[in-house]
A and B are shown apart, each in its own frame.
Chain A
Amino acid sequence: MNYKAVVNVLSRILLLEAILMVFPIIVDLIYKEGQWLYFLLPAGCLLVISIPTILFLKPKNTILQAREGFVITSLAWVLMSIIGAIPFAISGEIPSYIDALFESVSGFTTTGASILKDVEVLSHSMLFWRSFMHWIGGMGILVFVLAFLPTQDGSSIHILRAESTGPNVGKLVSKMKFTARILYAIYAALTVACFIFLVAGKMPVFDAICNAVGTAGTGGFAVWNTSIAHYNSTYFEMVIAVFMLLFGINFNVYYLILIGKFTEILKMEEVRVYFIIIVLFTLLIALDIMSLYENFGQAIRYSFFQVNTIISTTGYSTADFNSWPIFSKILLFLLMIIGSCAGSTAGGFKISRVIILTKSSYTDMRKMLHPRQVIKTKLDGDILSEDTIRNTKTYLVAYVGIIVLSLLLISIEGYGGLETNLSAVVACFNNIGPGFDLVGATGNYAGYSIFSKLILSLDMLAGRLELFPLLLLFTPSTWKKI
């Protein structure tokens, strides 16, 4: 393990977090709520610690192997969350540090699960910091570091791999730096577009900023207790729903649009399946809940928003889907697990993995019928390597394993029923936010004990980093010399 290089990159990330804390300070100075000190203190401490480390602890060998990539990624996210929670705690707006940590993890991992019963009492700077965390965590802070901070030689592909979502992570262009810049440019442009659409519909600027960054990171922290339902506006709901849908698409699609390779997009099975799922599920749920609303149009309005908020793992709500019929709830539960496309800012199991597993199972079944048949599984017209298929299967096992283990652990204290606890684990692990029953759209996670909150926080981190970086952190051989 190249400890010096790991410490160096981690210090850069902390320095960046200190710089990012300037934004909530600006918000506070605008609203004059006197909370700026609570951001300045941790930011100052970070500067004092990180700058000397970056300047004086220079690694001799700057090559980062897969192992360092995993360790840097998971430690960076843990550290960021621990520090991001400090302003909430020391300002007293979220008195318990564990609650603040849960909120901070939930922010960075773009989950949007909250322990707050009443968000409207928070000051503007804290509300902004909560939502801004979504934006930072959405595309990944390490990708940002790669894009804009001067880095050393050597390949940093392992970091991109560990932080980006999906089974196959590649570069868009040959230089890592430019790949990261392109991704961030697309991300920022879409965020600004979302903001403009919201402001055009006369949403207050502060709300529009928070909702735009929350949508972009597919996070889901809202500035009102009733989330997006507060505005009761079909226009806002449709804008946010469409942008949630857009942020759930693989970002390669936008790059291909930019360079004019439209035929390549049509080849991407995952995106096709994504759209089919959205249309199909919207219609099914709308038919199921029609009796609850005046007409079919209203039913479509609510079902379209809910389908997008869950599939993109955002977690905004416009209706209390907890009171919907069981069929609709099961459909939403399925969406929670599936999630969006690989290479997007969304969480979940990822559609591409579902496709890979389905196809390889089909191949295996055909082989049972024709034992001598030579048959290859293909995705997007290319043959899937055995490695990819095996990794995806391993992922499934780890995924189910973590859900079962977390469900056991948070059930020890005896809070909540099966529906509450199962949906809490699934909603946190897949970075959605609201689940069903006590943790549903109108509920929150405040009722859990400290232990369960920590377990759920770990679930959120594991889900955002796609399990392995965090799991490897707890594997002894990661830390051994040989």
Chain B
Amino acid sequence: MRLIIVGAGKIGATLVDKLSKEKHDIVIVDKDPKIVEQIVNRYDVMGVCGGGADRMILEEAGVSTADFVIACTSRDELNILCCMLAKKLGVSHTIARVRDPEYFMEMEYMKGELDLDMWFNPELRTAQEIAEILSFPSAINVETFADGAAVMIELKVKKENPMIGKSVMEIMRDFNVKALFSMVVRENKVYIPRGDFVIQENDIVHITASEKEITNFSKKMQVFRRRARSVFIVGGGKIAYYLAKELIARKVAVKIIEKDEARCEWLSEELPEATILNGDGTDHEVLDEEGIDKCNAVVTLTGMDEENVIVSLYASRKKVAKVITKVDRPTIGQMVSHLGLDSVVSPRIVIASSIVRFVRELTYEGARINQLYKIHDKVEALEFPVDNDFEHINVPLRDLNIKKNYLVNGIVRDREFIIPTGDTSFMIGDRVLIVTTEKNVSGLEDIVR
């Protein structure tokens, strides 16, 4: 695939990183020669210096023969204009980053008119991600599959967890849980566990089950915490707005603290149900006064990574049940994992997965991927639909020769989550979850030898 990425900011750079690993031909376009130079030095891509809505520049980048134009500059208007121009110049698919709430309302409606194949809003996706974590506060991270019928949670095995020292099989039997251990990370190494795999302290386990079973499971594991009923948000940016909207819809009490007065006024107009506070979120007196220790969860969403980390550390010390930290720079994300802040969200990583999925779907003809979730650097969880084209319908899994490095991580049939055994078989209409360390998986056919 030949891709043109316009805008080499945080998102653009992350996309170059992820997509160049999938062996695509990439041209990066940005106005700043220094940034272009940096990226060209680091990755095997071509750089073009200039504006994204400049016809000459797009032609120089080879727009007429390109398959994708992904516009992710910081300006929505420029992104939309760039994609329209690119379509006129003959590109096959366009993807634009649109994040202003005012435009976002009409985007689905305007998508066709604007010749956009996909649009994405990193702030909105991040807010949704945070809302999911808040509904399972026991987990570090949550990902839902098949429209919520299956949930994958990430859990850190802390001291006194009853799982320690038991094998996966024993846990399933002893606690009578209908859940599937998808993956275990131990000291930065990834394991896809078999039945005899023994869980140790400090392992990070990924477990897939239905929503009910997950709640059940975490109760039995004595890690259950009730879903957050009141959430304290520090920083009133776009993510905070989307998150508050989502939480209010779920009947959660929301408090937002924001420095800028004008922004506070806008927020209070748009979110009448939320409590909007004008003040400095990094001032512990303000936080104490507003009762940070009395809420179920704290989410730090200011524009500064360092502020977010500091406020989160303070909240953890105040014994807030759930603390979620937004971190933009991936390097900082790695550093804070040692500080005991385990729920860290990074908008660019969140959005990169969905674009990679979209591109991969169109790269391999006939590929249908419902969902792609990068659990770890080297591991992906994917969801595929089973349709008439699949050759091995109604064949029990034991007779299917499934390749190494693939795990059938569950089947969703009629909105029911099924843990696959040797007798289970794929049927038309199923949605199959796969966990794999292989790259570039494009369909169910790929997993069968």
Contacts and interface: CB of A to CB of B under 8 A. Distances in A.
Contacts of A155: 40-44
B41 A174 contact: no
Contact of B46 (A63, A158, A174): A174
Given A174-B27, A175-B25, A157 B33 contact: no
Contacts of B41: 66, 155, 157-158
B45 interface: yes
A171 B48 CA distance: 10
B21, B26, B45 pick with most chain A CB within 10 angstroms: B45
B42 A174 contact: no
A55 interface: no
Interface string B23-47: 0011100000100000011111110
Nearest to B46: A174
Nearest to A178: B25
B33 A174 contact: no
A385 B44 contact: no
B149 to A, nearest CB: 38
A154 interface: yes
A271 B339 CA distance: 60
Given A173-B46, A174-B45, A157 B40 contact: yes
Contacts of A385: 33
Interface residues of B, number: 13
Interface string A379-390: 000000100000
A156 interface: yes
Interface in A168-205: 170-171, 173-177
Interface string A60-100: 00010010000000000000000000000000000000000
The SS class assigned to the A binding surface is loop
A177 B42 CA distance: 15
A154 B46 CA distance: 13
A6 to B, nearest CB: 17
A173 B40 contact: no
B34 to A, nearest CB: 9
Interface in A114-165: 153-158
A176 B44 CA distance: 6
B47 to A, nearest CB: 8
Contacts of A154: 43-44
B46 A156 contact: no
Nearest to B23: A175
Contacts of A176: 44
Contacts of B43: 154-155
Contacts of B45: 174
A155 B43 CA distance: 5
Nearest to A172: B46
Nearest to A176: B44
Contact of B25 (A153, A157, A158, A174): A174
A176 B41 CA distance: 11
A174 B2 CA distance: 9
A176 B25 CA distance: 10
A157, A158, A176 pick with most chain B CB within 10 angstroms: A157
Contacts of A173: 25, 46
Interface string B211-222: 000000000000
Nearest to B33: A385
B44 A175 contact: yes
Contacts of B27: 174
Contacts of B33: 385
A173 B2 CA distance: 10
A182 to B, nearest CB: 13
B30 to A, nearest CB: 15
Nearest to B21: A153
A170 B61 CA distance: 13
A201 B25 CA distance: 44
Contacts of A171: 40, 46
Interface of B: 2, 21, 25-27, 33, 40-46
Q: Which 9 A-B pairs have the closest CB atoms?
A: A174-B46, A174-B25, A176-B44, A155-B44, A171-B46, A174-B27, A174-B45, A174-B26, A155-B43
Given A66-B41, A157-B40, A171-B46, 20 more contacts: A63-B42, A153-B21, A153-B44, A154-B43, A154-B44, A155-B41, A155-B43, A155-B44, A156-B44, A157-B41, A157-B44, A158-B41, A170-B46, A171-B40, A173-B25, A174-B44, A174-B45, A174-B46, A175-B44, A176-B44
